[in-house]
Amino acid sequence: MEPSELSEEQKVLLDQTVRVVEAGPGSGKTRALVARFLASASQSDKGIALVSFTNAAVDEVRRRTHQMPGLLKAPHFVGTIDSFLHRFIVTPAETARLGRPPSYWASWDDLPEQWSTVRLKNPAGSGIPLSAFRIDAGGTVAINESGLGSDAPYLAQVKKAGALDALTKVARAKTKGLTDHGTYDASAARIKADELLSGSAGPDILARIACRFGELLVDEGQDCDQAELDVIRRIGDAGVLTVVVADPDQAIFEFRGSDPKLFLDYRDSYGPVSCASLVTNYRSTTSICTAVTALRSTGVVAPANKGSCAPVLVLSGAPDDQRKKFAAALDEFGVPLESAIVLAHGRRDAMAAAGASPAEGGSRAIGNRLAAECSVIRHSADSDRRLQAVQVIERIILSLVDWPDDLRTNSPGEQLDALGRPAEWLRQAVAALVARTALTSTADAFGAAARSQLQATLGSLPITHLSLSQRVRKPNADVWAACSVAPGPDSPDMRYGTVHGAKGMEFEAVLLALPLADLRKTNGLDVLDEWEQDVNREARRVLYVGASRAQRLLAFGAGQHSDRVASLLTHAGAPFEKR
């Protein structure tokens, strides 16, 4: 990419004096950051590292360097910030300590159930995921209660019994046991990286990084927690030129430690000469930019294209009504169904508006999960969702192996190596399970067919498997009823997802679904209260991120909240239409 391909505003990222860039949605920040990487990597004697929290920057670098493959090789580095921390900080130190490389998991949820779930003997119950606990470097524990879903009643029982401290103690002990064994989820690895750089080994690690890299370019910096920003500062202090690009209003991973104030404090540690901003939006129409500006805490999202465009839609009614109105609008404005998506803060709200099977958000019981994911693979038109379902079943299959202690928390690749099986074996096992259960007409028959096929898959392995009769029960009646019926022609199969999962992406049309029931309140305010009163909290920022994914058409699935949303858009001067 040549500098001439950038706008004058975007060229600020090529300025060697700039260290921090605030960039609004659709401003081409990733495009400009990639241009900076290509220019520096072509000229520098040292390596250039470009890291991001999403794959958008990584994928664009790879597309832009297909004729220059050397730029993706050492000494350069392009990848997620987590993979950078793993490769250059945590893995060398932990390999020296353990005598083997550590294992990394995206989430504790991917571990076998005995490690991934936290429960007490009293009160008895299903427990809650270990991933719901966040333990910072000081040992302080927080629980992500808003993400518990069907596991929330168990936490309520624990609180009622006065056993929350005991549950927290179990979570802390499990996390320590895993990390002592060299097993990390993304959050634990970040904390470990900061711990290593602040300890006695820090100077040597930083010297090695500074010897290899001349620049560290960080995309989506608003998602950094305190540990990651500390790591970036230390790398900068070691002589590596650091550039952090961020939109503080897109800080929506509060539970993992991100907070707009962290980035703003980082920005303010530099003088004004070292800071710049990108405000022009090349993604969205004027009406969408006006709505997005209204959701932003400060500053304007200025549209590059000021031509005629569709109004923002405010859709009333139940989720089925909203879906039909959105589908009609797609036809009206010429947007293909496959170019649209339903987004929401909570997965269940997105599913309801998209007409997805409620089984897809079902319980963690293996029989229910298998039935739901097999249904997705057979019925969904969304290739990403089908791949996600395949991966869930792959993890279930591996979780049914009776792993010895030294393999129980290893990565899937390491576990497959121990079984003497390639990754293709696991994918074929999923295909066989889906095919074997496809013609079952009752929940009992599905359970029996699933156990039979899993026995065939696991029975010949060199490591024994757990009891299938105990672990793989038939799906319950509600799950079976929901996932055994294919969607009809009057229920278009719309893509759906959470706003968090769609970050870094864009779509021609977005239906942003609000909860059908009363809106959840934090300190007495719901998300529309925050918008009305100009209070900058995460719930409002989630709406901002979701709305800013839209290119041509934005619809709020507002239901009973339609009048409030319409009033807010009126106040913002955003062209809209109630339907």
- Residue-wise pLDDT for 224-281, tens only, equals 999 999 999 999 999 999 999 999 999 998 887 888 999 999 999 998 889 999 999 9
Structure confidence by residue, pLDDT tens digits, 417-439: 989 999 899 999 999 999 999 88
Q: Cα(425)–Cα(441) distance, rounded to whole angstroms?
A: 28
Give per-residue pLDDT as tens, 304-360: 988 889 999 999 999 999 999 999 999 999 999 989 999 999 888 898 898 876 554
Q: Is residue 131 predicted with pLDDT exceeding 80?
A: yes
With a cut of 60, say whether residue 135 has pLDDT above it.
Answer: yes
**Ramachandran area for residue 358 (φ above 0: left; ψ -120 to 50: alpha; else beta):** alpha
Mean pLDDT of 81-110: 92
| % of the chain exceeding 70 in pLDDT | 96
CA separation, residue 366 to residues 15, 279, 423 (Å): 54, 47, 22
Cα–Cα distance for residue pair 101/92, rounded to 1 Å: 8
| Tally of CA atoms within 13 A in the half-sphere of 436 that contains its CB | 20
Please spell the DSSP secondary structure of 277-341, one letter per residue: EE-EESSS-HHHHHHHHHHSSSS--EES--S--PPEEEE-S-HHHHHHHHHHHHHHTT--GGGEE
3-state secondary structure 205-250: HHHHHHHHEEEEEECCHHHCCHHHHHHHHHHHHCCCEEEEEECHHH
184 pLDDT higher than 50: yes
pLDDT tens for each residue of 436-461: 998 888 999 999 999 999 999 999 89
pLDDT confidence tier of residue 411, bands split at 50, 70 and 90: confident
Task: Label each residue of 329-360 as H, E or C.
Answer: HHHHCCCCHHHEEEEECCHHHHHHHHCCCHHH
Of the candidates 459, 457, 435, the one whose C-alpha atom is nearest the C-alpha of residue 446 is 435
**CA angle, residues 110, 115, 116, in degrees to nearest 5:** 45
* Confidence band for 361, pLDDT divided at 50, 70 and 90: very low
Under 8 Å CB-to-CB from 321, ≥6 apart: which residues? Answer: 315
CA-to-CA distance for 133 and 127, rounded, in angstroms?
A: 12
Q: Are 170 and 201 in contact (CB under 8 A)?
A: no
* Pairing mode, strands 103-105 and 183-185: parallel
State how far the Cα of 507 lies from the Cα of 494, in Å rounded to an integer: 13
Give the bridge partners for 104, in sequence order: 184
Q: What is the pLDDT of residue 49?
A: 95
Band of the pLDDT at 527, cuts 50, 70, 90? very high
Which single residue is written with the structure tokens 């970050």? 503
Q: Is 202 exposed, middle or buried (0-12, 13-18, 19+ CB in 10 A)?
A: middle
Give the pLDDT confidence score for residue 303 in this predicted structure: 93
Share of the chain above pLDDT 90, in %: 59
Going from the C-alpha of 87 to that of each of 19, 77, 78, 193, 230, the distances in angstroms are: 24, 10, 12, 10, 17
The residue count of the chain comes to: 579
Question: Which range among 136-150, 309-323, 516-530 shows the weakest confidence by mean pLDDT?
Answer: 136-150
Residue type present at position 246: A
390 pLDDT higher than 50: yes
Residue 56 has pLDDT above 50, yes or no: yes
Query: What is the DSSP secondary structure assignment for residue 474, as one 8-state letter?
Result: P
Looking at per-residue pLDDT, the higher value among 551 and 485 belongs to: 551
Q: What is the 3-state secondary structure (H, E, C) of 131-145?
A: HHEEECCCCCEEECH
How many Å apart are CA 367 and CA 19, to the nearest integer? 51
> What number is the average pLDDT over the span 56-81?
81
Region label for 147, one of left (φ > 0), alpha (ψ between -120 and 50) or beta (otherwise): alpha
